[in-house]
Amino acid sequence: MFGDMMGMMNKIKETQAKVEETKKRLDTVTLSEKSNDGLLKVTITANRELKSIDINDELLEDKEQLEDYLVLTLNKAIKKAGEVNEAELSAVAKDGMPDIPGLTS
C-alpha cells in the first residue's frame, strides 16, 4: 500500500511538471482572429495574453464601431485561446492521473 502511495505521489509530481511545461509552451502558441471584414486583427497566445492589435485606418474614424470591433474580436480570440489552453492542459492532466478506483474524470 505504501509503495503504491509513493508511486502515485511521483506520478502526480510528474504530471505537475508536465502541466508547467505545457503552460510555458502555450505562451509560444499564438492565435489570430480577424473581424468579419478583416479591418481589425488581434493576435493572442494560448495563455490568453494579447500580443498585437492591428487596426485598419478606416475604423479610426468611428470610435463606437472600433470599440464594438475590439470587444467582438477580442472575445472570439480569448474564447479560441481558452479552448486550446483547456484541451492541451486537460490532455496532460488526464494522461498523468493515476487510476484511483471510484475516481472518474
pTM greater than 0.85: no
Please check whether the domain covering 2-96 is classified as CATH 3.30.1310.10. yes
Q: Which residue has the higher pLDDT, 14 or 77?
A: 77
User: Above pLDDT 70, what percent of the chain?
Assistant: 88
Residue 73: how many other CB atoms lie within 10 Å: 19
User: For position 105, what pLDDT does the model report?
Assistant: 44
Cα–Cα distance, 84 to 19 (Å, whole number): 14
Task: Name the residue with cell 494579447.
Answer: 50
Reported as a single tens digit per residue, the pLDDT across 59-96 is 999 999 999 999 999 999 999 999 999 999 998 888 77
**What's phi and psi for 98, nearest 5 deg?**
-70, 150
